[in-house]
């Protein structure tokens, strides 16, 4: 289903084309990465996932859900991976289905860090910058809720294997037919854990100063840009999101420093989560990005079409990522263009199995 060409969009700037680095978009409506836990055994993407993403291909860009860059870094049951031949083949079905609809799709690659759990990883202990456990939530399992464990603090000798794992994931994403990749540096997972001083209490080359705390993220970006070219690489950050027991003593200073440093990479985009899920931190980190970062910024968290149009019109953002509204509305761009009512999402089916709450949300014309 495509957008009508004979009708002026309600939001002309939101529906204008855009080039993010070397990725050409037909509009500025981005599908945010949304964990949906629909894989089968061994974290292999399924035909159902191909249908789900193809349904949502009329936006400018799909950012596929957080995907395990390497083995034993699972933080959810049934999230996808990109480290095996079978996973690459499964994702190839997804990218082929999206491309057949004229869409663009990039893969978000990640490592869960201390959000991983031995329960999900064949007993392997999680790793993190420091031996500090998540305490503000529990892991949901078929056996009930269980506490997170204290992670193993990575040694400097162990860090190169993490960087190589991300690099191999980038190679595998290219083999799977993606249009680019997004490095997951947000939401309290491994790279974010190194960035913020609440979870990183190291005193070596990867801790202490902002420059040291950002070192792993920048090393990962360098490695994946070597594979793709920086113009096909995006980065997601969430400097104030307290999810997964995250906090930073000065998120604005962190964001200012990182935004300015990222100018050296010429990335396709910087994807900024502007808010905190729980309202613990309220600093204006988006403005810090806008004042210091010279490239394309994708805004995320709480935007509707009216605010998105205004931000793009003013030049504050290049594009806007929509999460729950895109989950519940496979034809979100068409609905926004028509000013149509949106489906309401059902949170009870966000992480369940099968088609319910996944591929069965109705289209506008159904």
Active site residues: 189
CB distance 239 to 254 below 8 Å: yes
Please tell me whether residue 243 adopts helix, strand or coil conformation: coil
Three-state SS letters, 263-320? CCCCCCEEEEECCCCCCCCCCCHHHHHHHHCCCCEEEECCCCHHHHHHHHHHCCCCEE
Q: Which two tokens stand for residue 57?
A: 């291909």
**Contact between residue 200 and residue 181 where contact means Cβ atoms under 8 Å apart:** no
Burial class (CB in 10 A: 0-12, 13-18, 19+), 76: buried
Q: How far apart are CA 258 and CA 211, in angstroms?
A: 8
CA 137 to chain centroid: 20
Question: Are the C-beta atoms of residues 289 and 259 closer than 8 Å to each other?
Answer: yes
By CB neighbour count within 10 A (0-12 exposed, 13-18 middle, 19+ buried), where does 228 fall? Answer: buried
Q: Which residues contact 110 (CB under 8 A, 6 or more apart)?
A: 66, 67, 68, 69, 73, 183, 184, 189, 190, 191
């Amino acid at each position: 289903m495509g957008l009508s060409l004979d009708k002026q969009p309600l939001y002309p700037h939101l529906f204008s084309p855009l080039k993010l680095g070397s990725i050409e978009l037909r509009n500025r409506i981005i599908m945010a990465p949304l964990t949906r836990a629909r894989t089968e055994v061994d974290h292999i993407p399924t035909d159902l996932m191909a249908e789900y993403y193809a349904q949502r291909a009329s936006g400018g860009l799909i950012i596929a859900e957080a995907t395990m860059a390497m083995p034993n870094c699972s933080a959810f049951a049934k999230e996808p991976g990109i480290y095996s031949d079978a996973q690459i083949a499964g994702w190839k079905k997804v990218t082929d289905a999206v491309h057949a609809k004229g869409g663009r799709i990039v893969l978000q690659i990640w490592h869960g860090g201390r959000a991983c759990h031995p329960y999900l990883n064949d007993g392997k202990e999680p790793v993190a910058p420091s031996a500090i456990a998540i305490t503000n939530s529990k892991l949901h399992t078929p056996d009930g809720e269980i506490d997170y464990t204290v992670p193993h603090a990575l040694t400097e000798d162990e860090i190169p294997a993490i960087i190589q794992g991300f690099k191999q994931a980038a190679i595998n994403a290219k083999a799977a037919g993606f249009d680019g990749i997004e490095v997951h540096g947000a939401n309290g997972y491994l790279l974010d854990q190194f960035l913020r001083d609440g979870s990183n209490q190291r005193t070596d080359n990867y801790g202490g100063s902002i420059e040291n705390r950002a070192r792993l993220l920048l090393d990962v970006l360098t490695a994946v840009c070597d594979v793709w070219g920086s113009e096909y690489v995006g980065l997601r950050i969430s400097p104030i999101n307290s999810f997964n027991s995250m906090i930073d003593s000065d998120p604005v200073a962190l964001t200012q420093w990182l935004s300015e440093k990222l100018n050296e990479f010429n990335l396709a985009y910087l994807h900024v989560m502007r808010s905190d899920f729980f309202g613990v931190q309220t600093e204006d980190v988006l403005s810090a990005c806008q004042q210091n970062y010279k490239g394309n910024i994708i805004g995320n968290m709480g935007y509707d079409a009216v605010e998105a149009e205004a931000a793009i019109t003013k030049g504050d953002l290049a594009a806007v990522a929509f999460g729950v509204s895109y989950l519940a509305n496979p034809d979100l761009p068409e609905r926004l263009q028509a000013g149509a009512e949106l489906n309401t999402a059902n949170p009870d089916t966000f992480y369940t199995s099968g088609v319910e709450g996944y591929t069965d949300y109705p289209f506008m014309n159904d």
